Amino acid sequence: MQTLARVAVLSIGGIICTGVVTRTQAAGFIEDSKATVMFRNTYYNDDYREGSGVSKLEEWGQGLQLNYTSGFTQGTVGFGLDAIGQYGLRLDGGGQASATGPGTDFAAGGDDRQPTNMFPRDSDGSSVNQFGTLSLGAKMKIANTEIHTGVLQPYLPVVNYIDGRLLPQLFQGTQITSTDIAGLTATVGQIDKVKDRGSSSYDNMKISGAVGDSNVFRFAGADYQLTKALKVQYYYGGLKDFYKQHFLGAVHKWDLGPGVLTSDLRYFNSRPDGANGRGDSEFSSSGYYGNGVTRGKIDNDIYSGLFSYKYGAHTLALGYQKSEGESYFPSINNGAGSGLPDHRRHARALRCSWRASLARALLLRLRGAGPARFDGRDALHPWR
């Protein structure tokens, strides 16, 4: 019998900002420093209405994240520090998970009501009561080029941290960003480890369903403002022994009436690398390969377009996305590391999808701080 599930996720959060200084020239290590505190209360309920086995995955927790970003020391070469502290407190949750975790093998034992992936697991399969981490990073600035090493939260088409559930995902590596050439933003870097949103440790990376892992993800690309209204993009991202991915994008904005019409076109090309290309089963991808075969080499192309009209705080959008190839769309640890208009279906091969949405930006004005977007990112443009 086909199993039907109903998922409900409710998150309530707030952001407090302190110590913000806006100047053209760097004022100094302390003077330009900024600290933000994010509180997020999340309830997750995945209710399996039909079928046997687990009836629901359920969890409720309170999350806190402290972001500290220093300024740069004065001089030709400036130095600075970044820090991200995360803490999660479980308020309520399911019992003991099955041997292989929720959503994978419900026949392997465990309780009828099981925990989700918002918290790390204890030795008995239940969620821990609390967990926390402190991640540090160093940075250097020369002219308009910044080098960051340590904790990273990249926000690019080929790698994008997940901000769902209780606490955001974090990466460890090095990223260089330069805006020395007018109109051009160039980025290059390498990621070594990832800390998933329900984890207290940094681990090697993999794609969804893989057994093998990798500690090398390299990325590079650029955004170029060709005209005032048109921006073009190219990015490359490669997870060693899994996949190589190329991205092309174009964003055009047109003043139309009282609002702005934005056209956002994107193309992803993903192909195998290393062990995946050699057919190693531990590095294989999920997909539809014919004759009942569901694992194999990376082979995916995605074409998408998102057209939105923004008037004041309101945005009306219509998007179309087409996925071709035998494999699912690859991304690090099954994350939203792509900038797909319909990221909810990004894993499926051979599928087309339409998306229409109406959004209203919710702004908070806090004492001593300027406007802050409530959810921290634009829901219609996942990586911007």
Quick check: 111 and 94 in contact, CB under 8 A? yes
- Helices first, then strands: H and E counts in the chain: 1, 20
pTM (whole model) above 0.75: yes
CB atoms closer than 10 angstroms to residue 144: 12
Q: Is 283 helix (H, G, I), strand (E, B) or coil?
A: helix
pLDDT digits (tens, 9 = 90+) for 147-202: 999 999 999 999 988 887 899 999 999 999 999 999 999 999 999 999 988 899 99
Residue pLDDT, tens place only, 211-227: 999 999 999 999 999 99
- Residue among 349, 353, 338, 228 at smallest CA distance from 300: 349
Of 253 and 333, the structure prediction assigns the larger pLDDT to 253
Is the predicted pLDDT of residue 314 greater than 80, yes or no? yes
pLDDT of 294 over the 70 cut: yes
Bigger pLDDT: 304 vs 25: 304
Give CA angle at 237 (235, 239), nearest 5°: 180
pLDDT of residue 86: 96
Q: Which residue has the higher pLDDT, 1 or 319?
A: 319
Q: How high is the pLDDT of residue 360?
A: 53
Contact of 186 with 211, CB cutoff 8 Å: no
Q: What is the pLDDT of residue 92?
A: 84
More confident residue, 58 or 366: 58
Residues 128-161: pLDDT tens digits? Answer: 999 999 999 999 999 999 999 999 999 999 998 8
267, containing H or E segment: strand 259-272
Domain ranges of the chain: 1-68+82-129
Q: What proportion of the chain, given as a percentage, has pLDDT over 90?
A: 57
Could you give phi then psi for residue 106, rounded to 5 degrees?
-75, -15
Q: pLDDT at position 23, please?
A: 42
CA distance readout (Å), 26 to 30, 72, 75, 152 = 10, 7, 9, 22
- Choice between 341 and 170, residue whose per-residue pLDDT is larger: 170
Q: Taking residues 27-42, what's their average pLDDT?
A: 92
Residues 377, 60, 111, CA angle at the centre, nearest 5°?
130
Residue 24 has pLDDT above 50, yes or no: no
Whether residue 79 has pLDDT greater than 80:
yes
| Position 322, amino acid | K
Query: Max CA-CA distance within the chain?
Result: 68
Which amino acid belongs to residue 70? S
% residues pLDDT > 70 (the chain): 73
pLDDT band at 351 (very low <50, low <70, confident <90, very high): low
pLDDT tens column, 354-364: 656 655 544 33
Q: What is the mean pLDDT of residues 60-69?
A: 95
Token reading at 384: 């911007």
Give pLDDT, residue 233. 97
- Separation between Cα atoms, residue 90 and residue 61, nearest integer Å: 4
Element of type H or E holding 276? helix 274-277
Model pLDDT for residues 231-252, shown as the tens digit of each residue = 999 999 999 999 999 999 999 9
